[in-house]
Amino acid sequence: MRIAVALFPGTNCEHDVEYALGLLGADVEIVWHREGDLSDFAGVVLPGGFAHGDYLRTGAIARFSPIMDEVARLAKEGRPVLGICNGFQILCEADLLPGALIANRDLDFICKPVHVRVETTDSVLTRRAEVGMVLRIPLNSYEGNFVADEATLDALEARGRVVLRYCDPDGNVTDEANPNGSARNIAAIAGGVHGNVVGIMPHPERAVEEILGSADGRVLLESFLEAAEEAP
């Protein structure tokens, strides 16, 4: 099963994603953003980094890269699309996910492991997890603060599309456990007609082996690959 990892100028996590998905048995190919055909791929990952230098707004320029038409097509067809960190920002700018990501509440670049709680298993990122499971995954971003208007947030909640929330090590969702000011502690959301498009701010691909300090990201990436396996 082939998974595409999109490479924009300024992307810097493509090899981490390639390694992590490869470790879990996927056949991964890094695809340059000017390529116009992803029809041979069961799913696509938009990795972290600083696509197009983050100029204008994070993800704003990347949205118009040719590969994004293909990402939108895969999303529409129900194949899994995963945006990690900068990839999440790109999916929001491309209107494939609702809301936007702005500078962290305290204007810090945050680079540390955080805890997130699984809110639903009805997503391509959490289908192999359990509701209430607490995962420890590295966060590495300046613009990680998820914002959306109240109606959009309510709609996400009502449709069960809040996938992960920042929490304390015991799974309590509190203001203190919210590292970047994200609305309702949101760390990952799902979108798309089939809920098959997911954006996540922390980096599951950096938590796939104990030697990295945590293997908690595995269940998320295994979920993604399982969804790709079954995708239309």
Partner 1 sequence: MSEPLRFRVRILRKPEIADPEGATTARALRDLGYDVVEVRFGREILVELPPGDADEAEAAVHEMCERLLANPIIEDYDVERL
Residues at the site binding partner 1, with contacts judged by CB under 8 A? 56-57, 60-61, 64, 92-93, 98-100, 102-107, 145, 147-149, 181
Would you say 104 or 120 has its CB closer to partner 1?
104
- Beta-carbon contacts of residue 134 (< 8 Å; ≥ 6 apart): 115, 116, 117, 118, 167, 169, 170, 171
Q: What angle do CA 103, 33, 59 make, to 5 degrees?
A: 15
* Catalytic residue ranges: 85, 203, 205
Count of beta carbons in the 10 Å neighbourhood of residue 174: 11
Identity of the residue, 11 or 58, whose beta carbon is nearer to partner 1 in the bound complex = 58
Residue 104 or 214 with smaller CB distance to partner 1: 104
Query: Least CB distance from residue 69 to partner 1, whole Å?
Result: 15
Judged by beta carbon, residue 126 or residue 145, the one nearer partner 1 is 145
What is the side-by-side strand order in the sheet with 2-7?
A: 27-32, 2-7, 43-46, 81-84, 197-200, 186-191, 162-167, 110-118, 134-141
Smallest distance, Å, CB 146 to partner 1?
11
**What is the spatial distance between Cα 10 and Cα 58, in angstroms, rounded to a whole number?**
11
* Min CB(35)–partner 1 separation in Å: 22
Dihedral of CA atoms 22, 28, 33, 39 in degrees, nearest 10, equals: -150
CB of 151 vs partner 1, minimal distance in Å? 12
